[in-house]
Amino acid sequence: MAYSLWNDQIVEEGSIAISPEDRGYQFGDGIYEVIKVYNGNMFTAQEHIDRFYASAEKIRLVIPYTKDVLHKLLHELIEKNNLETGHIYFQITRGANSRNHVFPDASIPAVLTGNVKAGERAYENFEKGVKATFVEDIRWLRCDIKSLNLLGAVLAKQEAAEKGCYEAILHRGDIVTECSSANVYGIKDGKLYTHPANNFILNGITRQVILKCAEEINLPVIEEPMTKADLLTMDEIIVSSVSSEVTPVIDVDGNQIGAGVPGEWTRQLQQTFEAKLPLSINTK
């Protein structure tokens, strides 16, 4: 039996009823988060929860639970499903009301849902690297909000999949922003380059961990826009997300990156990232 989160309750998965007039369904009027679970423990849970509340504030959505209550509910959901390795997804919408672009009355309750998905880590990708393709970034101008409006990302990811690629590297004109579901970085001459955390990208929680890892291994970080041509000249390219962790990119649209294998800086980042994961001691 699988269990889901529904507002402040853990219920059987099939018992949730969402109104067809829910604003998440009709307008994408909501936000979400995904947290990786290792050994039954959420990794960087507080950072994800903090960003969840920050995204809610940016769209003027009131979350009717404290951060501590939400944290407790997520732990309960993991335990109820006996999840060891995988991820937990949760979202909140502005609730259900007669269809109207204007916000509903404040008395309309927000709707919180969540579920878990078991899945092993992508070791082969980490070890061998993946292929990527350039796709024009057609998303809205508030990519810093982890919104339910993901159609632009979905279309880009589909294009990448149809080309046999793991990721779509997005670009606005000639400037590389991020990927369809990950952040992207280039490493050249002992420096790590990545787009600054502004409204054009999501400041990934895994991204924040990677920048700390870079500092620990004395890999200088330069947060400035890169062009597509710049990216193709990099010695190493990596992408990161909750599921991608630190994934090397060895080919972009048929252009070999570096030696065509994961590079030394990538390996050091992977090792430093790995050391931060709750892999052996259950800390719940």
Catalytic residues: 146
CA distance linking residue 65 with residue 44, whole number of Å = 19
Specify the 3-state DSSP secondary structure of 110: coil
Q: Enumerate residues 6+ apart whose C-beta is below 8 A from 91.
A: 24, 30, 31, 32, 33, 112, 113, 114, 148
Give the DSSP H or E segment for 231. helix 228-232
Helices (H) and strands (E) in the chain, counts: 8, 16
- Write the Ramachandran bin of 236: left for phi over 0, alpha for psi from -120 to 50, otherwise beta: beta
How many residues does this entry show for the chain?
A: 284
Query: Residue 233 is encoded by which pair of tokens?
Result: 């000249």
Give the DSSP H or E segment for 67. helix 67-80
Alpha helices, DSSP H, located in 119-168 = 123-128, 151-162
Q: Are 266 and 234 in contact (CB under 8 A)?
A: no
Residue 160, φ and ψ in degrees, nearest 5: -65, -45
